[in-house]
Amino acid sequence: MSAVVHTHRLQVRYGETDQMGVVYHANYLTWFEVGRTEFLRHSGLTYRELEEKGVLLPVAEATLRYKLPARYDDWVEIRTRIEELTPVRLTFAYEVYRIPDETLLVSGKTMHAFTTPTMKPIRLSRAEPDVYAWLLAQYEGGA
């Protein structure tokens, strides 16, 4: 389990909800993407920098577990961490909480393959050893 957990807060917008004011289920995947983007940025590496190095992180698998709905105008906190890191893939884990009451609404994971811009799989530990070492530090709790 990663010791580095990044938190990002957002307020539920009207356009993210259905007629009942409940967040549409697919929007949680968008929030997961916000969580991992901000995790990387906050830790000192952006998606743009990864892409400039020729490394892409396409989503290979996503899972979500819905517990309670978020609603229009709620404040939520997305908590993101690296759950697993291997030379060929990276798995992020997410939890979405309503704040300030700390109610867990949704949890989930996304698994990403390391690829080139042409979607050829790579071993990140060989292709970009510095990036792999940086991710490993995030996974193990250092920065």
Burial state string for 10-47 with b = 16 or more CB within 10 A and e = fewer than 16: bebeeebbeeeeebeeebbbebbbebbeebbeebebee
Q: What number of other Cβ atoms are within 10 A of residue 57's Cβ?
A: 20
Give dist(CA 50, CA 63) in Å, integer. Answer: 24
Residue 18 appears among annotated catalytic residues: yes
3 state DSSP class of 27? helix
In the DSSP assignment, the letter for residue 132 is H
User: Of these residues, 18, 73, 74, 101, which one is catalytic?
Assistant: 18
User: Please, which residues have CB within 8 angstroms of residue 40's CB and are 6 or more apart in sequence?
Assistant: 46, 47, 50
Catalytic residue positions?
A: 18
